[in-house]
Amino acid sequence: MVTTVPSQAATVAYDVAAGTPDPELPMVTVADLGILRAVDVTGDGVQVTITPTYSGCPAMREIGADITRRLARAGFDRVTVRTQLAPAWTTDWITADGRRKLAAAGIAPPAAAPRGDGPVPLTLGLPAPARCPRCGSASTRRTAEFSATACKSLYRCGECGEPFEAVKPL
Amino acid sequence: MSTDHDNPYDLLGDDHDDGHRWAFGTGFTDPLQGIDTRVPDGLDAAALARQCLALGDDALIYSHRLQQWVTRMPELEEETAIANIALDLLGQARMLLARAGAILGQTEDQLAFFRAEKDFRNMSLAEHADADFAELAGRLLIFSAWRLALFTELSAAPDPVLAAIAAKGVNELTYHRDYAAQWVVRLGDGTEESHARMQRALATLWPLAGELFQPDPDAAGLTGRASADRGSFDALIDLVLAAAGLDRPEAAAPPAASYAGVGGRSGRDGVHTEAMGYILAELQSVARAHPGATW
């Protein structure tokens, strides 16, 4: 067990949990993505609260296991991971740092997510073009709404000709 | 950047609390882990369980039908799209079945794999076998437009767990509906052949939409409405069909005999079409052959 005073332990535990890489996008951490909602240290151990990105995201299980394992290595042997569903995760929670890391890895970060009350409007046209993470051009075209994961779309840049992935605003 | 995670596959060999992980996505845990699933005072727990079961079954059976399209789609891009949509619905099914299970004292797996056909509450639309890609697009449009409207209302349900599941689902159903609507427009406004097939698909599917709007007393107790609003659903479908140059089939068209239900009872009452037996045989056979197996 970590024997530091509680406030220090809480800071250490948060930093260790926050540094956990996302299994699908290992260039960003769970804190960068906004998945990590809270880390609480009590006499009963560490309670980590995470929120799923998508209802069916198979990485949630891995993320919980990875956080537990990293905390165990840091000396926290009593860790519980709990899920928090509300409010629902949005790509707006991806931090500025996370956006920079995504772009540096060739993945266009998401635009602001559409929000509104009442019936959700239907979209029949193409979305606003994502900016090419390689050359910065806005002259890009979406080639597929989905990519290897639900959270990304496929684009091609009209300027440099390179295909790239973009995180969908959600 | 941490160096102990350069190869995520290295982690698979690690011993975890459950010891059942042999690949990513295995070693399932309760999707509602750590969530307070007590039913709020004054709420009819049995009705809430029935409602979660019905909505969970719609997603589970529809997801299975979409999974059957994987490796058969016309393009790789559509392959990933359908697989992702099926995964979203499976995720919704897991949470909804777990929510029902918390009330009924059963796990999501017991509900998915060990219930008999008559105990499944999904709509006929969810179990329909798509004859071609036009039916796939049309069915997904009808299903996701209806479910999105319903989930928007359920986001304010008095049960906070169901409300959270619904609010999360709204984001996903929005792009499911857009994806389907865009394909209906492309096919309807495409070649003579694609137009004809899209129109034919609508004629087959439209009778199935009626069941979605049957008054449901359980829903009324949760949202104050007995069904999603048919008028705004029809208006949305008309918007898509106008862009596609397609005609909405006559509402008065008699439903195909196999979808008429029996004595006024249909999917929500556990009365299913012939297709359902084949779906469950495929869905449940492994779990039933190996009781207690984990994955």
Q: Domain tally for chain A?
A: 2
Tokens at residue A144, please?
């597929």
What is the reported pLDDT for A166? Answer: 95
- Confidence band, pLDDT 50/70/90 cuts, at residue B147: very high
Within 10 Å of residue A8's Cβ, how many Cβ atoms?
12
pLDDT by residue (tens digit) across A36-65? Answer: 999 999 988 999 999 999 888 878 888 998
Residue B155 sits at the chain A interface (C-beta within 8 Å) = no
Question: Does residue A14 sit in the same domain as residue A75?
Answer: yes
Question: Does residue A69 sit in the same domain as residue A136?
Answer: no
Question: Does residue A64 sit in the same domain as residue A109?
Answer: no
Question: Does residue A72 sit in the same domain as residue A135?
Answer: no
pLDDT by residue (tens digit) across B175-198? Answer: 999 999 999 999 999 999 999 999
pLDDT by residue (tens digit) across A125-168? Answer: 888 789 999 999 999 999 888 888 888 999 999 999 999 999 99
Which B residues, 237 through 266, put their C-beta within 8 Å of a C-beta on chain A? 239-240, 243
- Confidence band, pLDDT 50/70/90 cuts, at residue B18: very low
CA–CA min distance B91, chain A (Å):
4
Tokens at residue B122, please?
């999904």
What is the reported pLDDT for B222? Answer: 83
Within 10 Å of residue B289's Cβ, how many Cβ atoms?
8
Domain assignment of residue A17, yes or no: yes
Question: Does residue A11 sit in the same domain as residue A78?
Answer: yes
Question: Does residue A134 sit in the same domain as residue A68?
Answer: no
B181·A88 Cβ contact <8 A:
no
Per the rule left: phi > 0, alpha: psi between -120 and 50, beta: everything else, A51 is: beta
Residue with structure tokens 């767990």? B161
CATH code, domain with A67: 3.30.300.130
CA–CA min distance A6, chain B (Å):
23
For residue A43, give Cα distances in angstroms to A37, A161, B164.
Answer: 20, 56, 30
Domain assignment of residue A14, yes or no: yes
Question: Does residue A78 sit in the same domain as residue A132?
Answer: no
CA–CA min distance B258, chain A (Å):
32
Asked if pLDDT for residue B73 goes beyond 90, the answer is no
CA–CA min distance B30, chain A (Å):
10
User: Taking CB atoms and an 8 Å cutoff, what residues of chain A touch B182?
Assistant: 124
CB nearest B167 (choices: A73, A86, A146)? A86
Question: Does residue A73 sit in the same domain as residue A110?
Answer: no
User: Taking CB atoms and an 8 Å cutoff, what residues of chain A touch B149?
Assistant: 119
- Confidence band, pLDDT 50/70/90 cuts, at residue B27: low
Asked if pLDDT for residue B260 goes beyond 70, the answer is no
Of residues B72, B194, B70, B208, the one with CA closest to residue B134: B194
Note down the domain range covering A109. 105-114+125-167
Question: Does residue A10 sit in the same domain as residue A79?
Answer: yes
What is the reported pLDDT for B291? Answer: 84
- Confidence band, pLDDT 50/70/90 cuts, at residue B15: very low
Asked if pLDDT for residue B273 goes beyond 90, the answer is yes
pLDDT by residue (tens digit) across A11-36? Answer: 999 999 999 999 888 999 999 999 99
Domain assignment of residue A89, yes or no: no
In SS3 terms, B34-55 reads as CCCCCCCCCCCHHHHHHHHHHH
pLDDT by residue (tens digit) across B153-165? Answer: 999 999 999 999 9
Residue B174 sits at the chain A interface (C-beta within 8 Å) = yes
Asked if pLDDT for residue B293 goes beyond 90, the answer is no
Domain assignment of residue A71, yes or no: yes
Domain assignment of residue A98, yes or no: no
Instruction: Write the ipTM.
Output: 0.89
Asked if pLDDT for residue B10 goes beyond 80, the answer is no
Question: Does residue A74 sit in the same domain as residue A21?
Answer: yes
Residue A31 sits at the chain B interface (C-beta within 8 Å) = no
> Chain A to chain B, count of Cβ pairs less than 8 Å apart?
141
Asked if pLDDT for residue A6 goes beyond 70, the answer is no
Tokens at residue B132, please?
């071609």
Q: How far apart are CA B136 and CA B205, in angstroms?
A: 10
Residue B95 sits at the chain A interface (C-beta within 8 Å) = yes
pLDDT by residue (tens digit) across B203-237? Answer: 999 999 999 999 888 888 888 888 888 999 999 99
Which A residues, 32 through 91, put their C-beta within 8 Å of a C-beta on chain B? 49, 52, 54-62, 64-66, 68-70, 73, 80-90
Q: If you average pLDDT over every residue of chain B, what do you get?
A: 88
A120·B88 Cβ contact <8 A:
no
Domain assignment of residue A100, yes or no: no
Question: Does residue A11 sit in the same domain as residue A74?
Answer: yes
Domains of chain B in sequence order? 44-289 (1.20.1260.10)
What is the reported pLDDT for A126? Answer: 80
Domain assignment of residue A119, yes or no: no
Residue with structure tokens 């008699």? B254
Q: Is B93 exposed, middle or buried (0-12, 13-18, 19+ CB in 10 A)?
A: buried
What is the reported pLDDT for B257? Answer: 44
Question: Does residue A16 sit in the same domain as residue A50?
Answer: yes
What is the reported pLDDT for A160? Answer: 95
CA dihedral B107, B111, B114, B119 (to 10 degrees): 150
Domain assignment of residue A163, yes or no: yes
Residue B11 sits at the chain A interface (C-beta within 8 Å) = yes
Q: Is A96 exposed, middle or buried (0-12, 13-18, 19+ CB in 10 A)?
A: exposed
For residue B285, give Cα distances in angstroms to A75, A152, B44, B280.
Answer: 44, 34, 34, 8
